[in-house]
Structure 1
C-alpha cells in the first residue's frame, strides 16, 4: 500500500474531519488528505508566532535575553503555568517562548504576541508564501470569543468570568472560532506542513534561527499525540492544539538509522472526545514512521 492509502485507512475509522499532510524531507514522498482545507489551528498557531519571534530576533528588533514583567492584567485562562505565578515575576523572552511551546502556556503566548504583533505574524506568513495561515486572535481573544464573551478584558476578573461561563455552557460548536474562515485562526495542513519543512531544512530566516526554533520544539512535554506511539528515543519537534472538538498536532519526526525526517500536520474537527482525536493522530504518526522506516 502507498503512504496515502495507509493514512486513509487509519482515518476511515473516524467520524471526525481530518486534514493531514505527511512529507519525507529527503525523498519528498508525501500524502495529502484535505490538505488545502482550512482548520482552526488552536494552539498550533504558536508555531507561526515562534517563527515570527525568531525573525524579529534575527533582525535585532527583540532580544531573547530581555526580561518582561508579568502583572495580574496579563492573566489568561487555559493551559500553562505562568497563570499560577505571583504577579510581578520577570521572565526572559526566550523563557516565554519556551513555555508557549513545551507546555502551551497561554500567558506566555499572549506576551510574545504583544511583543511581535498579530498582524506582523500573519504578514510574515504571507512573505513566506503561506497564504493558508491566518492569525487574527491571541489566546485570550480566541477563548473569550469562544465563550461568548467577546470584548472581555484579560486579567483576573476576566479569567474568573470566562471560567464560570465555560463551567456552565462550554464551547458552542457553532461559534465563529470554529468556522473555516481566513478571518479566523486557521491554517491549511499544506501550508502548516510547508512551514515545518522550512524550519526543518534551515530555510526560515537563517540556519541559526531554525536551530533556535527546533531546540524549543524538541523539548515538547505534551507527548500524547504525534510522539505517543513512536519509539521512546525518537526525536520529535512538535506542537499540539485543542479547543472544543478541534484536536491537532504538527511536527517534525526524525527517523533513526539515517532514514531522514518527515513533517506531519494533523488537524481535525468534530472529534467525539479529545482522546479519540489524540489516538487517531498517534496512529497516523506511527503509520508514517513505519512506512518510511520500511523504505
Structure 2
C-alpha cells in the first residue's frame, strides 16, 4: 500500500482538518493531503524567522553574538522562560533564537522580530518562492488579534487586559486569513528541505539552524511514537496557546509540527509538515500528528 493511501486511511479517524506534506529526501517519494491549503502556522512561523535571522547574519546585517537587554516592555503572553527571569537580563541573538525554537518563547521571538523586521521575514519567504507563506504579525500582535484587541504597545494595563478577554473564533487568526501568519504544508516542508540541504545558506549557517531545530523540547508530536534511533529537528505550533484564557473555549485547536526526521540504517531522511485545525483538543491533534509521523517512518523503513 502506498504512503498516500495509508495516510488517507489514518485521517478517517480524526475530526480535525489536516494538511500534510511528506517527502523522502533519499528516494523522492512523496505523499500529500490538503497540502496546498492555507493553515494558521501558530509558532511554526518561527522557522521562517530563524531562516531570515541567519540570512541577515550572513549578509552582515546582524551578528549572533550581539547582546540585547530584555526589559519589561518586551513582555508577551506565552513566554516560557524570559518572563520568569529578572528584567534587564542580557542575551545574545543566538540565545534568543534558541529560546524561540526549543521552548517557543514568545518574548525571545518578538525581540528578534524587532531586530530583523516582520516584513523582512515575509519578503524573504517570497524570495524563496514560497508565495503562499504570509508572515504579517509578531506574537503579541497575533495574540491580541486572537482576543479581539488592537495590538497596542506594552503597558501593564494592556497586558492585564489581554487575560480578561475571550478568544474570538471569528478573527483572521482562526480563519487562516492571508492577513495573518499562514502557509501550506507543501511550502513548510519545502522550507525545511531547503534549510537541511544547504540550499539557502552556507554549511556553517545550515549546521547552526539544524542544531537549534534538533534541540526542540516539545516532543509530543512528530517524535512521540518514533524509536530513539530516529532523530527529529522540528518546530511545533499551537493555538489557542497553552495559557488558554477561557476554560469554555469552543474553538477547535490548531496543532502543528514541521520538521525533518533522520532515519537509522542508512535510510536517509524525510521532511514532514503537518498543519491542522478543528481538533477537539490539543491532545487529539498531537496524537494524530504522532501517528502520521510513525506511519511515514514505518513506510520508509520497509
1:265 aligns with 2:273: yes
Aligned length: 290
How far is 1:79 from its partner?
A: 4.1
Q: Relative to 1, partners in 2 of residues 1:89 and 1:282: Cα closer, same or farther, differing over 3 Å? A: same
CA distance in 2, matches of 1:211, 1:276: 33
Q: Is 2:173 the partner of 1:177?
A: yes
Deviation of 1:15 after TM superposition, in Å, equals: 1.1
Moved over 3 A (4+): none
Partner of 1:152: 152
Q: Distance in 2 between matches of 1:138 and 1:25?
A: 32
| C-alpha distance in structure 1 between counterparts of 2:155 and 2:271, whole Å | 37
Task: Report how far residue 85 of structure 1 moved.
Answer: 1.2
Root mean square deviation, CA, Å? 1.0
Q: In the alignment, what sits opposite 2:256?
A: 248
Residue in structure 1 matched with residue 46 of structure 2 by the alignment: 46
* 1:1-295 mapped onto 2 (5 Å cutoff): 1-165=1-165, 169=166, 171-244=167-240, 245-294=253-302
Kept after mapping to 1: 8 A contact 2:223/2:293: yes
Asked if 1 retains the 8 angstrom alpha-carbon contact of 2:41 and 2:183, the reply is yes
Give the superposition deviation at 1:49: 0.3
CA displacement 1:170-222 (0-9 Å, x = unmatched)? x2222211123222100011111100100111111222211111010000001
- On the 8 A contact 2:140/2:151 being kept in 1, the answer is no
Q: Which runs of 5+ in 1 are unaligned?
A: none
Whole-Å separation in 1 of the counterparts to 2:155 and 2:82? 13
What secondary structure is seen at the aligned counterpart in 2 of 1:164?
Answer: coil
Distance 2:29 2:21 in 1: 11
Contact 2:40 2:174 survives alignment (8 Å): yes
- Between structures 1 and 2, the one with greater helix share: 1
Kindly provide the CA deviation profile for residues 113-164 of structure 1, in whole angstroms up to 9, marking residues without a partner as x: 1111111101111111011111000000000110111133235433222123
Corresponding residue SS for 2:108: helix
Is this contact kept in 2: 1:247–1:269, CA < 8 A? Answer: yes
TM-score (norm 2): 0.94
